[in-house]
Structure 1
Amino acid sequence: MTALPDDARGLSDDEAGVLQLLLRADFPGAVQLRAQAVHLLAARGCTCPCGSIDLFVTDPAAPRALTVGCTPVEASFDAGQVGPCSVVLFVRDGLLDRLEVVYYDDPLAMPSPEQIASISVRRA
């Protein structure tokens, strides 16, 4: 398990809500990632002011997913004048690793779950 950074904290309501929406999707490894989600801390994931966060699973016995890298699930939302944006979920060594806010202009905060317009799962 990765050492916790000094700024590790619980997930905000928006972060936890978006993660829950992503993990409702059915994709390989989702069951294990859902089990990990109840044992999470977060820290700022980027040096820019965006809402991306690094995730840290705090239970060493948490089941590991076979999924690695970018999961096939993505949350899309409309950021007003910025246009469509998304949040993607990353896994490292079978553990939840990062919620990345993908934007194409100015850095964006993590959206609220209510802002999520759709969840899509890429199929291989």
Structure 2
Amino acid sequence: MSATNNAMQDIITSANKGQFQVTPEAGDELITIFQEYADYLDARLNDIQVVKNRTPLGDSPAGQAIAEFNQQVAAGGEDSFEDAILQSSKQVPQVIEAIKRGIALYQETDEGNAAGFGNRT
């Protein structure tokens, strides 16, 4: 998940620098993918609430250890699955806006190239 977060941040950073361009068709497809990803993340946050409540696995030492482990992985701080999901959730709207800027830059460049080509004849 951290690789996905890093990739999203790279798109955001590149778009902010004017270094990201994408065709409208590909951009629209990417936007759809990231919107679906946002839905997926919301569902996982709901799932995590169950694990955060400490999975009832019995009183045995193994059951207690696994329940504790699950709880820590789910919501144990900045290295937890919950934190990674929250980071992704914050980035999805930003990456969608970055893609929109990438589409606009592509169209601007494309129109400029077309106008320049028309002036050569």
Normalising by structure 1, what TM-score?
A: 0.24
TM-score, structure 2 as length reference:
0.24
- 1 or 2, which has the higher strand percentage? 1
Q: Which has the larger radius of gyration?
A: 2
Answer 1 or 2: higher relative contact order, Cα 8 Å, separation at least 6. 2
**More helix by proportion, 1 or 2?**
2
